[in-house]
Structure 1
Amino acid sequence: MATTSTLTSELQGPADSSGINAAPPKTEMSNRRNSISLKQSILDWWSSPSELSRASFSSNSSSASSSTAATSVKSTFASSRLKNLKIEYNLYKAIFSDEIYVVPPGDAIIDDDELQDYPYYAQILDIELDDGNFLHEFYLQNNLDRPADGNDDQVLDLVVVHGYMAASGYFLKNYEQLLRSTPGIRIHALDLLGFGNSSRPKFPQELLTTPEDHEAQIKQTLEVENWFIDRIEEWRVKRGIKKFKLIAHSMGAYLMSCYLMKYNNGKEKSVHEFLAVSPMGTEPNYQSLINDSKYQFNHHAIGGDPFKELTARQKNITGGSQEDSTSNGKLSQIWKDLGAPKFPKVYVLRKLWEWNKSPFQALQLFGPFYSKLLSYWSFQRFANLVGNEDEATKDTDNTDLILKLHYYSFSIFNQFQGSGELAITKLINHEILAKLPLADRGLVEYLASNNVKTMWMYGDRDWMNSNGGKYVHDKISKLKSGISEFQVIKGAGHHIYLDNPEEFNKSSIQFLGLGK
C-alpha cells in the first residue's frame, strides 16, 4: 500500500485545506446501496496508510530515540493517525445536530474558557499513559448549569466502553440524547487498548501461549484482563475522575466487571451504577477453569496473590471436592438449563481461535477487496441510520451517512491486528464461553456487598445468552434485593444501542438516574 495525494483526494472527495471537511467518496452508490464499487475498494486499499498496519509507535519503546529515522517514523505515524481522526470527526459532524460543537482534530489547542461558551461540545482526545501508549477518548460536555470549578461532588461523569470488533464511534446514536439529559454531564467514551483509535501495541506473546498447569491458566487469564483494566484505571486517575456511572457492552462489560472487582472497593468507590449491555461471559459452562468451588472467589481483589489465599483456605477444608467436579450432575444441569450464546459454530472461527488470530487479520489478506467486503456489512448493518436532525424524515437518502460510518469502520479495522483483538482468544473459546465466567468468580458477592447497582440488558434478537445475565441477576437479587435489574429491549440484536437507540437511551437515562 502507498500514500498518494491523487488517490487520497479521490478517496476523500472535495476538501478544504485542512482536510477536515472532506466528504465521503462519491461512488456509483446512488442507484444501488448494497456496497461500494470494486474500483473504490481498490482505491481505499491503495490509499490506506501502511504505517497503521504495524504495532503502535511508543515513546517508551526501544525504537524511540532522537535519531532522524525514529523522528521520521513518529512523524509519519502521527500524520497517518490524523487522517483517521478526521474520518472519526466527519462521522460525528454528520450525525450530531448543529448545537453540538465538535472540536476539529489537529487544530491548535482551544482554550477551555472558549469551549465553555458552547452549550454542548465534543472533543477527540488521546490520553497518554506511563508506558508510552495512549487511550483514545471521545469526550462530550454539557455546559448548561455546569457546576462551578472545585465542586467535584456535583460533577456527573459517564464512562462508555465498547465491545469486541467495535469502538467508541458505534455509540454515535446515543451520545447526544445522553448529553442533553443532564446539565453539566461529562461523557467519556473510550477505545480499549488495542482497539479503535487507541494505541495498538503488540499483544504479549507470553499471554498467548497456554500453560499446561491449571492454576497457571487461571493466572494467565487474569493477566490478560489486567492488560486492559490496569490501563483504564491509569486513565481514570490521569483524567481526575473521582466518581462515574458506567455503560459497557459485550467484551467491554466483561472487562469492566473485572475492573470493578479490582479497583472499585473501599469507602470511596468510583462506581455505584453499572449498565451491562449484552455482557460476554456470564454463564457457567463446561469450558470454565473455575467449576471447582475452591476457585470461585474474587481473584482481582487487591491484597496479595489470590492463590496464596487459596492455599490457606484449602488447609481448612476437609475431605475431597467431588461435589465440585465437572462430572457432577448439578453442574451439568445448570449448563443445560442456561445454554450458551447462539453464535455460529464455524470451523474457520474455531481455527482462528486455536491459532490466536483475529478475524480481521484474515480479512486483511483480501487486500484491495477488503473495503468492498466490509461495505456489504456496512450497508446492511446501518441501513436505517439517520442523522439526529433527520429523525422525523427517515426516508431521507442516507448513503453519505452510511459511507461515513463505513470508512470509520474501515479505518479502525484496517489497523494493526496483532494487539487487543488477540486477547479474546484467551478470555473465551470460539463458542463465546468464558474461561472465568462472571457468575462464578465472586462478582455476584462483590456487587451485593458493595451495593453496586446493575442492569443486565439484552436485545430480543440477541445472540448473546440472556439466560446467563438473568442467572447473574437472580443470584444478586437473592443476596440483596433492589440493586439489580434485568431488561430485554425489543427490536434489537446484540448491538442494542444501534438497533433500537430510542429505547436504549430511554432505559439508560432512567436506570442511571440521569435528567434528575
Structure 2
Amino acid sequence: MDPTFDMDARNARPISKPKILVLSRLPPATTTAPAVAATVVKRWNSSATTTAAAGTTATTTTTTRGAYRSPTPPTGVPLSRILSNTFPLSYSESYSQWLKRTGLQEAEKAVLSCLPFYPEPDATRRARSLKVPIGESNHINEFEITRTTSEPISNELVVLHGYGAGLGFFYKTFDGISNEPGWRIHGLDLLGYGCSSRPKFELKSKSADPLVRTLEAEDFFIDALEAWRIERGIESFSLVAHSLGAYLGASYATKYPGRINKLMLVSPAGVTRSSYAVDSGETPEMPLPEMKAKAPLWFHYLWECNVSPFSLVRNTGPLGPRFVSGWSSRRFANLPSKEARALHMYAYTIFNAPGSGEYALNYLLAPGAYGRRPLATRAREIPCPTYWIYGDNDWMDINGGQEACNNIADRWPADLVSVSNSGHHIYLDNPQELNYHIKKFMRTNY
C-alpha cells in the first residue's frame, strides 16, 4: 500500500475513531482456489452481505477492533544466543562458496532459471532482464514477463521486494501469475538493492526536522521508481509490493497520484502506529501499541547509528556464506535443493554487495519495523483501492492493517487477507495461496 484526496497528501492526518467491522467469507473469484484452507477476508467497502462459496456455510461476525498485538520481529534475541546459533554450512563449504562467488546478475539468473520460461520461452510466456536508465548514470534492474500470444497488453503489474531482498525472491510468484491474458509483469529491484545501481545513500538536506529527513529517504526510492515508469513509457500500473517495498509503494502512490491503479501490500512494514512516528504531533485517539523493550539496548543502538546488518557478511570474507546459511537454511528448507542452493547464493551475493539503499532504513523505520510515517495513519491518503495481505504467523501486525483499512473505508475499497501456513515471506511459505489472491487482485475491477 483512497480518499477525499489532497493533491499534497504527504502530511498525515489524525486517525478517526474505529468503526464496526464486518468479517465475512468472500466467494472465490474466477480463478481456481488453491487446495488449502479457505482464506478469511475483511472487506470494508462492501455494503451488501457477501454470499458464501459453494459448499461452505456463510458466517458473518460483527467485531470491534481488537487490542493491538505489537509486532514480534526477530530483534529481541540476546546477543549471546545469536553468536551461539548453529550455521549449517561448514567452514570448508563456506570457503569454497566464497571462492566461487559470482556477480549479482549471474546469481539472479541462477534463481530465475528455475522458471519454465526463462531464459528460453515456454509455450505461452517469455521473459527478459533489462537495465532501465533513470538518470545520473543509475539504472533500475527489471525482469519483464510477457505472454507469447497475440492479445494486446492492456495492463501492467509491477512487483517490488522488501528490505535486503531482490526481485528473484518472487520467482514462484512470477510463475504463478504470468499467464493472465492482457497483463505484462515487471519485477523490479529498488534503487540501491539487488542488481539495480547502488549509489551512495546520503541525505542532502541539512534540516534537523526528522520528517524532512524521512521524506527525503523515501524520495530516494520512489523518485527512482517514477523515473523508471517514465523511461518505460507506462502511463499507470498496478503494484504488488512486499514489506519495505509496500511501505514505499504507498508513499509513491500518494506522491504520484494517478500512476498506481490499485495497490497490494504484502506483509507491509511500517504500518502500526508508535511513539517513533516523526509526524504524529497529536495524542492519538486510539491507544498506541505497548512499546516494551522487546529489542535489547545494543540492537537499538546499532539501528539508530544506522549500522547495516549486512556489514557482517561483507567484512568476514570466506565466513560470509556460513553466516548467511544460518538464515537461508531455515528460510529455504522446504524448497527443492537446486532452488534452495540458488536462493542461498543469491541472498549471499546481495548481502555481500556494496551497501546503498539499506542505509536509508533508519530514516524510514524504527526498531521493530515501526514506520517513521505509519501507514495506519496515512493510509487514508492512498488514492487507489488497496489489498492488504498478512501471513497467519506473520510478525508484521495485522491489527495495523485492520486500522489502515478502517481508516480508508469511506474513500476507497480496501480488503484485508490472512494467508494460511505462512509468515512474513508469504511468497515462499505459501505461494499457491498468495498467487490466488494476486490473480484475483489483477482480475478485479474496483
TM-score by length of structure 2 reads 0.75
Kindly provide the CA deviation profile for residues 397-448 of structure 1, in whole angstroms up to 9, marking residues without a partner as x: x32221111111111111002x10010111111122222112333x31x33x
Of 90, 93, 103 in structure 1, the residue corresponding to residue 110 of structure 2 is 90
Q: Select which of 390, 395, 399 maps to 1:467.
A: 399
Task: Tell me the distance in 2 between the aligned counterparts of 1:204 and 1:364.
Answer: 20
Q: 2:87 & 2:376 partners in 1: Cα distance? A: 41
Q: Structure 2 counterpart of 1:412, which letter?
A: I
The CA distance in 2 between the partners of 1:431 and 1:87, in whole Å, is 30
Q: CA deviation at 1:375?
A: 1.7
Which residue number in structure 2 is paired with residue 102 of structure 1?
Answer: 119
| Structure 1 unmatched runs, 5+ | 1-32, 50-82, 104-114, 148-153, 293-323, 386-397
Hey, what does 2:438 align to over in structure 1? 508
- CA distance, structure 1, for counterparts of residue 193 and residue 245 of structure 2: 11
Residue aligning to 1:497: 427
The letter for the 2-side match of 1:493 is G
Selected match of 1:408 from 340, 346, 359: 346
Which of 132, 139, 164 is the matching residue for 1:127? 132
Match of 1:438 among 372, 375, 380: 375
- Residue segments in structure 2 that go unaligned for 5+ positions in a row: 1-85
Report % sequence identity.
Answer: 35
Q: Any conservation in 1 of the 2:203–2:217 contact (CA below 8 Å)?
A: no
Q: Deviations over 1:178-230 (max 9, x none)?
A: 102x12321101111111111111111556x8x54xxx221111111111100
Q: Does the Cα contact within 8 Å between 2:246 and 2:269 map onto a contact in 1? A: yes
Pairwise CA distance, 1:507: 0.9
CA distance in 2, matches of 1:206, 1:233: 20
The alpha-carbon deviation at position 47 of structure 1 amounts to: 4.7
1:138 alignment partner, SS class: strand
> For residue 480 of structure 1, what is the aligned residue in structure 2?
411
Residue 390 of structure 1 aligns with which residue? none
User: What is residue 248 of structure 2 aligned with on the other side?
Assistant: 255
| Residue identity in the other structure for 2:141 | H
Shift of 1:250: 0.8
1:196 maps to: 194
RMSD (Å) for aligned C-alpha atoms: 2.4
Aligned length: 360
Q: Which residue identity does 2:151 align to in structure 1?
A: R
Q: CA deviation at 1:118?
A: 5.9
Equivalent residue for 2:33? none
- Any residues of structure 2 matched to 1:89-488 within 5 Å, and which? 89-94=109-114, 96-97=115-116, 100-102=117-119, 119-147=124-152, 155-180=154-179, 182-204=180-202, 206=204, 212=208, 216-264=209-257, 269-292=258-281, 324=282, 328=283, 331=285, 333-336=286-289, 345-385=295-335, 398-417=336-355, 419-441=356-378, 443-444=379-380, 446-447=381-382, 450=383, 452-477=384-409, 479-480=410-411, 483-488=413-418
C-alpha distance in 2, partners of 1:92/1:84?
Answer: 12
Report how far residue 343 of structure 1 moved: 11
Residues in 2 aligned to 1:514 and 1:480: alpha-carbon distance in whole angstroms = 17
The structure where strand makes up a greater share of residues is 2
**Higher deviation after alignment, 468-477 or 369-378:** 369-378
Query: Secondary structure at the residue paired with 1:102?
Result: coil
Does the 8 A contact of 1:102 with 1:123 survive in 2? yes
Determine the C-alpha separation between the residues in 1 that align with 2:234 and 2:221: 18
Q: Deviations over 1:261-294 (max 9, x none)?
A: 0112xxxx232211011111112211212222xx
- 1:169 is aligned with what amino acid? G
Deviation at 1:461, TM superposition (A): 0.6
Deviation at 1:84, TM superposition (A): 2.6
For the 8 Å contact 1:284–1:334, the answer to whether it is kept is: no
